[in-house]
Amino acid sequence: MTVSDWYGEGFPHIWLPYTQMKTVTPPLAVSHTRGSRIVLADGRELIDGIASWWTACHGYSHPHIRAAVSSQLDLMPHVMFGGLVHKPALTLAARLAKMLPGDLDRVFFTDSGSVAVEVALKMATQYWLNQGVHNRHTFVAFKGGYHGDTIAAMAVSDPDEGMHALFGGLLPKHQIVDLPRDEKSIAAFDTFLAQNAETLAGIIVEPLVQGAGGMLFHDSAVLQLIRAAADRHDLLLICDEIFTGFARTGTMFACDAAGIVPDILTLSKALTGGTMALAATVARPKVFDAFWSDNAQHALMHGPTFMANPLACAAANASLDLFDLEPRLAQAMAISEKLEAGLAPCRDIKGVKDVRVKGAIGVVELNRIDNLNDLKRRFVEAGVWVRPFNSIVYLTPALTMSDDDLDTLTTTIVKVLGKA
Ligand SMILES: *Cc1c(COP(=O)(O)O)cnc(C)c1O
């Protein structure tokens, strides 16, 4: 069968994400992946600058993760988590509790980031309900934020990115405000919280990096201020570390850099090293204790069919082994320096507005990108997988990427943008 046969047979039945199917540029067919490479069905090989939405932190097809999933497959691919538990989930929960900041120690597993956020919002709302407080079900979230595509997650995302205009009628209303970054905006934020505290359940924030909203960075100090404000106004703080978790920003978790402990924290993306779908919502005892009761109605009301899937938990445990065995944090910091140096020449290119790097995230922001598809095509022709969106070109490579591949990525970006 030729590549086009293989591709043509199924394509009329596929519906792609965020894609106008009528005018779509046909997506590239992938045959397999290894390390930092994507091998296409036609034999071409691309250096991957994105690591599949930064999930594949150890590179693709890592033998240690494959072996763990494979032996779990022999034992038990899946079993329901209602009334039953299993070793891979128990081990993973204990390991996460140990490595996460502070006393975040109660883990609820789900199967995607958006659902982990839904559970976090539900947990925070029910935290109040279980204590007899019935009017606190609104959340404070931030402009530029992104927390997922399901209804509740969309509703706490940036109004533009979260498609609030389109789905306005469907979405619950929350308070989306500017991130408090300076004295003045902190005072305003504080006044706002004071005026609304009675209706608010909590605050949700992506710590240090607002990812899908445009790779926008903020300092640790901003997080410390938000933590302090949440404490002052008795609000739960949810940190969505689905993007930032597992060394991406240069510390194991972004909250570590700020020295803060949120009340609830969400994880997904790199949790299984990019191998399987898995997510977690992790709570502190303060939150869990509000559900600990003789009243059956006070139980957490959620339970996805595939929660704590054993294959996914095995992959996650193997991924955590690799963080223990191999110097991922040092690699992230080395990548950070190389991104700084490699992307710096972009500052001299006409139309470039900003070049910024945090941990193993490199961003070139342009004034605007006129022909996104054309730019994407030129990256592929140059042998790299880089997916610009809005007005940015970004890199979130595997933390194991070789110096040579990283050099090729950055020099290709400089070259392609220079010619635009
Ligand atoms: C990707 C992402 C999500 C959504 O995760 P899905 O697995 O795509 O549902 C939520 N929050 C943040 C910060 C993310 O980066």
pLDDT one-digit tens code per residue, 208-239? 999 999 999 999 999 999 999 999 999 999 99
409 and 391 housed in the same domain: yes
pLDDT value of residue 160: 84
pLDDT exceeds cutoff 70 at 180: yes
What kind and span of H or E run contains 195?
helix 183-196
Q: Using one digit for the tens of pLDDT, what is the confidence trace for 186-203?
A: 899 999 999 998 999 999
Q: Which residues contact 329 (CB under 8 A, 6 or more apart)?
A: 247, 250, 251, 252
Picking from 107, 238, 223, the residue whose alpha carbon sits closest to that of residue 174 is 238
228 and 354 housed in the same domain: no
203 and 299 housed in the same domain: yes
15 and 133 housed in the same domain: no
Q: 60 or 26: whose pLDDT is higher?
A: 60
Q: Which residues form ligand 1's pocket by a CB distance below 6 Å?
A: 112-114, 117, 146-148, 206, 211-212, 240, 242-243, 268-269
Q: Using one digit for the tens of pLDDT, what is the confidence trace for 298-339?
A: 999 999 999 999 999 999 999 999 999 999 999 999 999 999
177 and 307 housed in the same domain: yes
Q: Which of 295, 325, 355 is the last residue of a domain?
A: 325
* Cα angle: 324, vertex 148, 285; to 5 degrees: 55
Q: Give percent helix, percent strand, percent coil of the chain, each to the nearest 5.
A: 45, 15, 40
| 244: its two tokens | 């930032």
Q: Which of 279, 307, 325 is the last residue of a domain?
A: 325
Question: Which residue is catalytic, options 48, 146, 263, 376?
Answer: 146
Contact assessment for residue 57 and residue 319, using Cβ atoms and an 8 Å cutoff: yes
Q: Using one digit for the tens of pLDDT, what is the confidence trace for 27-37?
A: 999 999 999 99
102, 223, 265 from 258: Cα distances, Å: 12, 7, 14
321 and 333 housed in the same domain: no
Q: Which residues contact 31 (CB under 8 A, 6 or more apart)?
A: 39, 40, 41
As beta bridge partners, residue 35 has 60
Q: How confident is the model at residue 1 (pLDDT cuts 50, 70, 90)?
A: very low
309 and 342 housed in the same domain: no
pLDDT exceeds cutoff 80 at 420: no
How many CB atoms lie under 10 A from the CB of residue 78?
Answer: 15
Q: Among this protein's residues, is 394 annotated catalytic? A: no
Query: What CA–CA distance (Å, rounded) separates 124 from 206?
Result: 16
Q: Among this protein's residues, is 74 annotated catalytic? A: no
CATH number at residue 221: 3.40.640.10
Q: Among this protein's residues, is 240 annotated catalytic? A: yes
| 74: its two tokens | 């022999």
Q: 246 or 165: whose pLDDT is higher?
A: 246
pLDDT exceeds cutoff 80 at 147: yes
CATH number at residue 54: 3.90.1150.10
92 and 215 housed in the same domain: yes
Question: To test the ligand 1 pocket, which listed residue (209, 268, 276, 361) has its Cβ within 8 A of the most ligand atoms?
Answer: 268
Task: Tell me what the pLDDT averaged over the chain comes to.
Answer: 95
Q: Among this protein's residues, is 127 annotated catalytic? A: no
pLDDT value of residue 153: 96
pLDDT value of residue 97: 98
Q: Which of 276, 294, 325 is the last residue of a domain?
A: 325
313 and 331 housed in the same domain: no
Mean pLDDT, residues 142-158: 96
| 117: its two tokens | 């956020």
The model carries a pTM of 0.97
| 85: its two tokens | 């538990």
397 and 378 housed in the same domain: yes
Pairing, β 106-110 against β 175-177: unpaired
101 and 111 housed in the same domain: yes
Q: What are phi and psi of 279, to 5 degrees?
A: -145, 165
Q: How confident is the model at residue 11 (pLDDT cuts 50, 70, 90)?
A: confident
Q: Which residues contact 415 (CB under 8 A, 6 or more apart)?
A: 382
Distance 113 CA to ligand 1 centre (A): 4
pLDDT value of residue 165: 83
Count how many domains the chain has: 2
Mean pLDDT, residues 330-354: 98
169 and 126 housed in the same domain: yes
Question: 194-221 as b/e, with b when 16 or more CB fall inside 10 Å?
Answer: eeeeeebbbbbbbbbbbbbbbbbebebe
Contact assessment for residue 329 and residue 251, using Cβ atoms and an 8 Å cutoff: yes
Mean pLDDT, residues 374-389: 96
- The residue range of the domain holding 380 is 3-58+327-419
Q: How confident is the model at residue 6 (pLDDT cuts 50, 70, 90)?
A: low
Contact assessment for residue 208 and residue 252, using Cβ atoms and an 8 Å cutoff: no
| 22: its two tokens | 């009528």
Coil/strand/helix, residue 83: coil
Contact assessment for residue 40 and residue 46, using Cβ atoms and an 8 Å cutoff: yes
Sign of CA dihedral 150, 151, 153, 154: positive
pLDDT value of residue 5: 62
Query: What CA–CA distance (Å, rounded) separates 4 from 345?
Result: 39
Q: Using one digit for the tens of pLDDT, what is the confidence trace for 250-302?
A: 999 999 999 999 999 999 999 999 999 999 999 999 999 999 999 999 999 99
Atom nearest to 153 CA in ligand 1: 10
Distance 243 CA to ligand 1 centre (A): 7
pLDDT value of residue 183: 81
